[in-house]
């Protein structure tokens, strides 16, 4: 995620339902360095797809803007 742009590697895809479930987390991650040390988002590295059959873990991280 870079600003409002979501980058997915060539030939890959993401389930729109999984993406929708993670949308509330993106703004929090963007402000992660401003949060208190005890904030839950600082200790979570992976998020699970809401579909129990999917068994997909997502790693969400903020990359520095290179532009």
| pLDDT higher at 63 or 25 | 25
* Pairing mode, strands 46-48 and 57-59: antiparallel
Q: Is 1 exposed, middle or buried (0-12, 13-18, 19+ CB in 10 A)?
A: middle
How many structural domains does the chain have? 1
As given in the structure block, the two tokens for residue 52 are 């129990």
Q: What is the pTM of this model?
A: 0.56
Distance between first and last Cα of the chain:
13
As given in the structure block, the two tokens for residue 3 are 């600003």
| pLDDT higher at 65 or 15 | 15
Q: What domain range is 67 assigned to? A: 1-67
> Does the pLDDT of residue 42 top 80, yes or no?
yes
Nearby residues of 52 by Cβ (< 8 Å), 6 or more positions away: none
């Amino acid at each position: 995620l870079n600003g409002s742009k979501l980058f997915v590697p060539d030939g890959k895809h993401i389930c729109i339902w999984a993406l929708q479930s993670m949308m509330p987390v993106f703004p929090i991650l963007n402000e992660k360095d401003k949060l208190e040390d005890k904030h839950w988002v600082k200790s979570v590295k992976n998020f699970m797809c809401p579909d129990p059959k999917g068994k997909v873990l997502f790693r969400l991280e903020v990359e520095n803007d290179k532009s």
